[in-house]
Amino acid sequence: MDKIFKTYKKLFTQRCHNIPLLEIGEDSVRYDFFIASTEVKNLKNYEIVLESAISSQAYIPRQVSPNTLRKQKPKMDIVIDKLNICAEFGLFRQNSNEEGTINKTNRLIKTLNDMIRLGLESNFTKRNAYFICVADSKMLRHQLQSKSLGPFPSDYQINLDLVNELCLKKTSDFDRRFINKMQELNLSFNAKLIFNEEIIADKINLETRLIAWEVVRA
């Protein structure tokens, strides 16, 4: 995976030499990983599945109505079975107001939510699971007031005590389908930081890093 991440960083840096980071969306973060994987591992286009259905064992559906149950098919951003990996992606950067702030805690909750989804998916499919993001200085080094997690980005231990703590706060936007499954199985996950390098390009005006974690069952 290290060679893929090195190539991925090169491709995303090239993108940011030509397009301002402020004009880049999360789909481009996914796309450059797609291209890097294809180049390094000589993959066919059909060997990479985008928006792949998450294992039905990995969550407890919301009990609303039969029609609602049928429509509940949460997705994983990328699955590459030839490499035995699945991944979710994020883009955390400044908004159009360079002097403004962003909701850093909301983005951290999104990160943890995706890591839980990845951990549960990996638990049942045995794929290696990765959360990958691009983040600038508006997000970097953010830390919860409780200090229950290290500054962003750090190695994270995600357990039910942490989830319950965050669910007591107003920014607790967790997907209960996955939290309930995590609770049912009494699972915890470790998110280990495996890549964290600065991207320096002509059209980036704040410190920006390409970051990846591997998520495993604790």
Q: Which of 25-34, 44-53, 90-99 has the lowest mean pLDDT?
A: 90-99
Predicted local distance difference test score (pLDDT) of residue 199: 98
**CB of 4 closer than 8 Å to CB of 212:** no
Residue with tokens 């499954």: 181
Predicted local distance difference test score (pLDDT) of residue 73: 85
The model's confidence at residue 95, banded by pLDDT at 50, 70 and 90, is confident
Arithmetic mean of pLDDT over the chain: 92
* Angle CA 60–63–65, to nearest 5: 135
Q: Which of 60-64, 163-167, 210-214 has the lowest mean pLDDT?
A: 60-64
The model's confidence at residue 113, banded by pLDDT at 50, 70 and 90, is very high
**CB of 120 closer than 8 Å to CB of 107:** no
Write down the domain spans for the chain: 2-217
In angstroms, rounded to a whole number, what is the distance separating the alpha carbons of residues 197 and 192?
15
In angstroms, rounded to a whole number, what is the distance separating the alpha carbons of residues 72 and 60?
10
Predicted local distance difference test score (pLDDT) of residue 67: 58
